[in-house]
Amino acid sequence: MIIGGGAAGSTAAQFARKQDRDAEITVLERGEYPEYSRCGMPNVLAGDIPKFEDLVEFSTDWFERNRIRLKLSTETTSVDLSAKKVEFRSPEGNGVERFDSLVFATGASPAPLNIEGLAKEGVFQFRGINDSKALQNWCAKKKRNVLIVGAGLVGLEVADALSKMRHRVTVVEYLDQVLPAMIDPDIAEPVAAMAKKASISIITSSFVRSLAGGSAVEAAEIVSRADSSPSKLKCDTVVLAAGQRPSTDLGVKIGCSMGAKGHIRVNSRCETNQPGVFAVGDCAEYLDFVTGEPLAAGLGTLAVKMGEVAGRNSAGGTATLPKGFINSRVTRLFGMEIAAAGPLYSSLAGKGIACVQSRMKGSTLPPYFPGGKDLTVKLVCTDQGQLLACQIIGEKEAAMRVDIVSAIISAGQGAKELTQLDNAYAPSVAPCVDVLAAAAQGILIKIGRK
């Protein structure tokens, strides 16, 4: 029994089926769509993908072919762990189902915001297809003055998309940098500069106190955190992208052990403290590979990895997660890839971990070959040279380089191994000495190993 049919839940269903050809597998999904790529929604908004329905990855046909019962528009209302039953409300009425094992894939919902006037017309969430479609339709009517609340991944991706569609976009961020959960301030700076170049206004260290207007939003009151000074911004559209919180009410009720930020804790089998109950994806919390601390990154890749392990184990398998997640991540904004792996430097330093960083500029091609694209690489290592994290910006192949570093981090190796990496080189493809190796050399010099 899988509660939630997003990426994590559907992958769990897929691997439960791979594990056991005869298992009865049911997915209860609150929404009306079968699994689709949430990550692709900004790309539809930007016109890069024709329509939201194209984002469906596990279609209803796929569920049928794999003999997995998918119940859409079905809200799970209670779980009885001793009786091994769930109750749900579906378009066909209420129901009860027995289960042998249970997977929570309940995802997350937008974090509540303390802003007056959120009920006004012109205010949108961007969590699911319906939200996103409503925003798209609204914006199709005329050029909008858009205020986006939150300069995280979703906020900036929506900002980029709407700006491409020639709307006027302002982004307000509570913290003092863009992408605060993804990259360090020194890497965020060029991203903010790109946003400005794309005619997007970024207002950091500020929050939205209220939305003014009649039934529809007409303006926002923005307050600077530095001096509490308010200012007024004219806008007819507001997109709320200030984070999400895990949907875990059912898990809490049955006594699942919960993390500090409200996620369901799982072990390396993706199992909660309740035997036979698993949790995957945005509602779950596992471990950070580098720090060993709890990690709930809310990434599609991790949802799929957890889905595989929980799916197999819920059907009798013995799959395990690695000892932690490296949290590799990337977005494309303003034509650039912004990619990272591992914890932020600031968070490591804040934990008292002795670490050094090295930043290096390079190119995707050797200097003599025309058309190379700039890359900025930042590596973070322990003071012994072990790799902990990296952040890379470039028009292309930034994510691929993060994957290389991710492989090296997960092998417990360091800057030395990165300088020695046997890389494939041809003038029209990649440089002989890559910027990754150059940045790693920088680390070795700093720690006196060179």
Active site residues: 39
Q: Does 426 bind a copy of itself (CB under 8 A)?
A: yes
Which residue among 89, 423, 446, 447 contacts a copy of itself (CB under 8 A)? Answer: 423
Of 176 and 374, CB closest to a copy of itself: 374
Q: Which segment (77-85, 88-96, 117-125, 326-334) binds a copy of itself by CB under 8 A?
A: 326-334
User: Angle 300-314/7-19 helices, nearest 10 degrees?
Assistant: 30
3-class DSSP state for residue 233?
Answer: strand
Q: Does 220 bind a copy of itself (CB under 8 A)?
A: no
Q: Distance (Å, rounded) from C-alpha 7 to C-alpha 9? A: 6
Q: Tell me the residue type at 374.
A: D
Q: Does 221 bind a copy of itself (CB under 8 A)?
A: no
Q: Does 366 bind a copy of itself (CB under 8 A)?
A: yes
Tokens of residue 310, six digits? 């929980």
- Among candidates 93, 61, 55, 56, which has minimal Cα distance to 74? 93
Tokens of residue 253, six digits? 């009720």
Residue length of the chain:
450
Q: Distance (Å, rounded) from C-alpha 450 to C-alpha 447? A: 8
Q: Does 20 bind a copy of itself (CB under 8 A)?
A: no
Binding positions for a copy of itself, 335-364, rule CB under 8 A: 337, 339-341
User: Angle 153-164/185-197 helices, nearest 10 degrees?
Assistant: 20
Interface pattern 390-409 for a copy of itself (x via CB under 8 A): -------x-xxxxxx-xxx-
The single-letter DSSP state of residue 61 is H
Q: Does 174 bind a copy of itself (CB under 8 A)?
A: no
Q: Does 59 bind a copy of itself (CB under 8 A)?
A: no
Tokens of residue 308, six digits? 């595989």
Of 103 and 333, CB closest to a copy of itself: 333
The size of the interface with a copy of itself (CB under 8 A), counted in residues, is 66
Phi first, then psi, for residue 415 (nearest 5°) are -60, -40
Q: Does 105 bind a copy of itself (CB under 8 A)?
A: no
Answer yes or no: are the C-beta atoms of 211 and 217 closer than 8 Å. yes
Please report how close the Cβ of residue 372 comes to a copy of itself at its closest, in angstroms: 12
Interacting residues toward a copy of itself by CB under 8 A = 7, 37, 39-40, 43, 48-49, 54-57, 289, 299-302, 304-305, 321-322, 325-332, 337, 339-341, 366-370, 397, 399-404, 406-408, 410-413, 417, 420-430, 432-434
